[in-house]
Structure 1
Amino acid sequence: MTTSTSSQSLWQRVTAPLSSGPAAYGFLALYVLACSILLVTNPRTELSTDVVFVLFLLSMLVAYRSRVAAWFKVILGVFALGVVLPYFGTLNPFYIDVATQAGIFTTLALGLNVVVGFAGLLDLGYVAFFAVGAYAWGIFSTPQISQINPAWGPVDPVMFYPFLIIGLILGLITGVLLGLPVLRLRGDYLAIVTLGFGEVIRVVANNLDRPINITNGSQGIRAIERPPLIIVDQIRNLGVVADDNRLYQLFFYYLVLIIVLLTVIVVARLKHSRIGRAWEAIREDEVAAVAQGIPRVRMKLMAFAIGASFAGVMGVVFASKQLFINPPTFDLLRSINILVMVILGGMGSIPGAMLGAIIVTMLDLQILPRIAAVLREAQAAGAPIPRQFDPTQYQRLLFGLLLVVMMIFRPEGLWPDERRREEQHEIEIAEEELEVDKDAKPTSPNSGR
């Protein structure tokens, strides 16, 4: 107990001056400014830029948890995410695309965190809601709709904006349909049923090309429409970006950024509301929660519906951004990836889910491919590295090992929820006290007889 308390106090003594007071303002300003200068002055696609880019994104989470004024956080966020990163994206489009993908999976991780972290409902089919929103826009915005009924035609591209709401509603309805059959299930049984639901959606999308061709089967849907950009001519006149692809990269980046901010606000308000407390009670002890008068059915359905609605919105954005979707895009591994983000960051923690999403996305899209490229260069230079070794081919193994290590050394996650951290430390302290009591227990005088 003494060792745990002293180490915790040492960590607090190191981080306290940088997380509150005047030192926090200077530290955050220098942190963001230094990362911004390093990014803008070195826009090349290389390992050093990757590291600075990850540190730059993590600076927003550090600011989020620091005890500084809200206006200062807003100024830092607008400067870093609204000015520096888009400008850096005009110098190197690869990184703005990675940031957009990280934002998409951040929203998905926050949505799954509502189901798994807040309500304690293990969902292995979360990607199904993502697929529903993507296929909705993919079908209605392309000539695929004419395969269903020749009299119908694709909707106008401007309908993309109303379809964000439609995707939210479709995800919500699908979440309720999933929640109804699994209300009485818990633990492994719930995981198996939700896993089956996710696979059913993928198989249906793969086979729903006959007798009526709705999803175009395994070939997927191509040439998905993008929304019209209202201020394209004004941006072109400024001379900042002339390429339409660059313009759409910036458009989707800002759109995803707005959706992420709205998602964080909604999830944070829910967590600290009566609904969030009811979810927490169900997660800790469902029988006791029902005995206290918490409506179990309504709360579980609400968790599934709210979590699924975020995925439905991002499905519409993802389909329009990628221009092509097919069933393998929404397989089981995608759901597991999102669950890894939640577990790695810390279940029930909003900044933890965001941190997990950033780390996993960076590993998947940026860091592992960059390490593979470095290893290939070393192999070409004659380094004794097996040619069969490619980190991108062992991605699932690395994620699995990462989770095992997390469960052993930090089961509450990298950025845990405060209540979960306290509970975890209380358990550890109680176990240590019990061991101390056993060691200090006096031996009975008659024990040797």
Structure 2
Amino acid sequence: MTNAQQTSPSPFAFLRRGPVALILTVVYIAVVTFFLLQNPRALLWRLLFMASVIFIFSLPNGQRTKLTLAGVLLFLLVPLVGSGNPFLLEIGFQVCVFAALALGLNIVVGFAGLLDLGYVAFYAVGAYSWAIFGSQQLWHLHEVAGTAATQTGFPLNGNLFWLFVFGGIGLAAIAGIMLGLPVLRLRGDYLAIVTLGFGEVIRVLANNLDKPINLTNGPQGITPVQRPPLPEFFLNGPISHLLSGLVGREVTRGDMYSLFFYFLAVVVLIIVIIVARRLEDSKLGRAWTAVREDEVAAIAMGIPLTRTKLTAFATGAAFAGAMGVIYAANRTFVSPETFSLLQSITILVMVILGGLGSIPGVVLGASLVVLLNIDFLQTLSLELSRLRQGAGVIPLIGLPWAQLPSQLDPARYQKLVFGIILILMMIFRPAGILPSKRRSMELKEHGDGDAGPVLDLDESAPLADAAA
């Protein structure tokens, strides 16, 4: 075969060129948005609409073009289609929350190589920091002090929520340092066991600190948790008037809060992505990479191991603390069951599914897990329930839908689906859906039969830069 035959362009190569690909992506987003507005509860159009982010990310155009399209999608089109189906705003909120949590865990596991199975504890610290002080729970402390217990309303002003967002970051970072100090000498399985225990300690404390002083209200949880006052332009500005025209009725305060928390979660996620990206390329990020690759070599190059590990724990925990405060205000209810070991495992699944150390991969992994969890499997369960109530039969089998056992409800098999996905990922794409370049190179070198990754000049750069 000649060189001309080997390099012959594909007949569809023009579709991957910048201007053509951009036009096709814009047309795709416009068409899917139109059909979703016509039928906002259709699962197919929801999935196609959410796939728009992947198409935008895959464009060969410059970074500014991608960011512009992503901004239009997140700040204009999602609220637009969410006006017809508020569930879409809920999906968007949860995707942003768990993406930020996964990015925080990615710093600990993906950047620094420290396996943390108790990461949800920092999420709980942030949530309970606002739940205790932003609810009527403080009146219970007055009861212990002997003061009047007939107080009503909230003891603190709702505007303090913004202060507690930063307070949650600080408290969670302190908790991360407290976790990091005892485990500095541990690695691998031992580190995982200790962090798992830390997460359980926080959950058990939240479950039992209802006596002798009722601080967390025990297993009953804390409710209602105060929400911050809505900005004036949300209540009486053009946003509320536009939303009223779209839904054909006067919007409620709950509708505006759904939109408000969605925008807040998106803004916080963008900040988290920027911070994570800057940390990845910084001197500290290269130090984390050096520690992950070889602690002995990192120490030999002059990297302060204690400070580097503690910074990784504190930084990852800070992201979870901020999202914990936002979660408590959005749900107006906090209970210990929310912060179980399963939540930590789920966040770790998001990181592994997307790609360890890959920021866009982790965001994609979090999005897929959330969509599978609260949308796809739940929609299949509702559709199956509807078929059971009819008189039809299952194709090819002939068994009536009404006789199908309820044990086959798809929503009951979330863990099974996650397990199958992880097994398939480890077999066919062990580096994740969107792996980092370094992780892909390491797995490729191991697959070629080498004893381990070769430390060339490029790979030794993190060691040299971190020690500089």
Q: TM-score scaled to structure 2, two decimals?
A: 0.85
What amino acid is aligned across from residue 47 of structure 1 in structure 2? L
Partner Cα distance (1:406, 1:78) in 2: 31
Task: Tell me, yes or no, if the aligned pair for 1:206 and 1:217 is still in contact at 8 Å.
Answer: yes
Instruction: Give secondary structure in 2 for the equivalent of 1:415.
Output: coil
How far apart are 1:323 and its partner, in Å?
0.8
Partner Cα distance (1:253, 1:136) in 2: 21
1:130 matched residue in structure 2: 123
| Structure 2: tracts of 5 or more residues without a match | 1-5, 245-250, 452-468
1:446 matched residue in structure 2: none
How far apart are 1:404 and its partner, in Å?
1.4
1:290-369 correspondence to structure 2 within 5 Å:
290-369=299-378
- Between structures 1 and 2, the one with greater helix share: 1
Task: Tell me, yes or no, if the aligned pair for 2:328 and 2:334 is still in contact at 8 Å.
Answer: yes
1:109 matched residue in structure 2: 102
Partner Cα distance (1:374, 1:197) in 2: 40
Partner Cα distance (1:296, 1:166) in 2: 27
Task: Work out which of the residue numbers 34, 47, 69 in structure 2 matches 1:51.
Answer: 47
Distance 1:370 1:155, change over 3 A: same
Give the aligned CA root-mean-square deviation in angstroms.
2.3
**In the alignment, is residue 25 of structure 1 matched against residue 34 of structure 2?**
no
What amino acid is aligned across from residue 422 of structure 1 in structure 2? M
How far apart are 1:235 and its partner, in Å?
4.6
Distance 1:143 1:15, change over 3 A: farther
What amino acid is aligned across from residue 316 of structure 1 in structure 2? V
| Structure 1: tracts of 5 or more residues without a match | 1-8, 433-449
Partner Cα distance (1:50, 1:122) in 2: 35
How far apart are 1:415 and its partner, in Å?
1.0
How far apart are 1:79 and its partner, in Å?
1.5
2:90 matched residue in structure 1: 97
Give % identity.
47
Query: How many residues are matched?
Result: 419
How far apart are 1:186 and its partner, in Å?
0.6
Task: Work out which of the residue numbers 283, 296, 303 in structure 2 matches 1:287.
Answer: 296
How far apart are 1:16 and its partner, in Å?
7.6
2:281 matched residue in structure 1: 272
1:214 matched residue in structure 2: 215
Task: Work out which of the residue numbers 209, 225, 236 in structure 2 matches 1:233.
Answer: 236
2:414 matched residue in structure 1: 395
2:430 matched residue in structure 1: 411
Instruction: Give secondary structure in 1 for the equivalent of 2:225.
Output: coil
2:458 matched residue in structure 1: none
What amino acid is aligned across from residue 356 of structure 1 in structure 2? G
How far apart are 1:282 and its partner, in Å?
0.9
Moved more, 413-422 or 218-227: 413-422
Instruction: Give secondary structure in 2 for the equivalent of 1:29.
Output: helix
The Cα offsets for residues 290-333 of structure 1, whole Å up to 9 and x where unpaired, read as 11111111111111100000000000000000111110010000
How far apart are 1:65 and its partner, in Å?
4.8
Partner Cα distance (1:14, 1:273) in 2: 42
Partner Cα distance (1:157, 1:303) in 2: 32
Task: Work out which of the residue numbers 37, 41, 62 in structure 1 matches 2:34.
Answer: 37
1:224 matched residue in structure 2: 225
Partner Cα distance (1:182, 1:70) in 2: 40
What amino acid is aligned across from residue 158 of structure 1 in structure 2? N
Task: Tell me, yes or no, if the aligned pair for 2:36 and 2:42 is still in contact at 8 Å.
Answer: no
Partner Cα distance (2:13, 2:323) in 1: 37
How far apart are 1:27 and its partner, in Å?
3.3
